[in-house]
Amino acid sequence: MTPSQHLLMEAKAIRSMLKILDVICNKLDAGETVKASHLKMIVNFLRVYVDACHNRKEELILFPQLEKAGVSTSKFKTLIEENELGREYLRELSKAMDHYQKGELEYRNIIKMISKQYIELENYHLDMENKNVIPMIKERLTDEHIRNLEDQFLAMENEEFGNDHSLQFHEAMSQVVNKLEKLYPA
């Protein structure tokens, strides 16, 4: 799988989870109760799949490779800032969910507000990746650079999630999305 295909596959799963989170926001807005365990699953997915997997590949592997190929670092500054803001939203969302899990239902509005901000940020971020970063990979990197990126992506996943467990990791994340999509259809 090429780096572009890898990032696009991850983006598809991320967008699916963002849709689930949006459905949950609508339920909270309607005064419905949502299981705290489902909210935790979503936050864990966002922390692991979006941040530890997808964003980490961008920041530690892809952007430095593109810089070496002559792409200005200013092209990535905003994307990195968005990743940082996303991390902050996840920290705040996690805190609000802890209160919600304890039965403090007044936190549902905070969960909804932070979730909406996160959804908007991530959708915009993924659009910018699609519009700007994916074409740069194709235009600026040689076949050798692309093979090197593939190897580095796999090595990072092996380091983060266990040797030779990359496929299982992605399958497990896909199962989380599928389970929640059945519970919270768009």
Banded model confidence at residue 72, pLDDT cuts 50, 70, 90: confident
* 136: Cα separation from own chain's centroid: 20
Instruction: Give the model's pLDDT for residue 63.
Output: 95
Closest CA to 1 of 160, 128, 147: 147
137-172 pLDDT, tens per residue?
Answer: 989 999 999 999 999 998 998 888 887 777 888 899
pTM higher than 0.85, yes or no? Answer: yes
CA 60 – CA 8 distance, rounded (Å): 18
DSSP assignments along 31-69, one per residue: T----HHHHHHHHHHIIIIIIIIIIHHIIIIIHHHHHHT
Instruction: Give the model's pLDDT for residue 164.
Output: 72
CA 42 – CA 33 distance, rounded (Å): 16
Banded model confidence at residue 105, pLDDT cuts 50, 70, 90: confident
Looking at the chain, the number of H-run helices and the number of E-run strands are: 9, 0
Residue in the block written with tokens 């961008």: 58
Instruction: Give the model's pLDDT for residue 186.
Output: 86
Instruction: Give the model's pLDDT for residue 173.
Output: 93
Q: Which domains does the chain have, with CATH numbers?
A: 3-183 (1.20.120.520)
Closest CA to 119 of 90, 141, 148, 147: 90
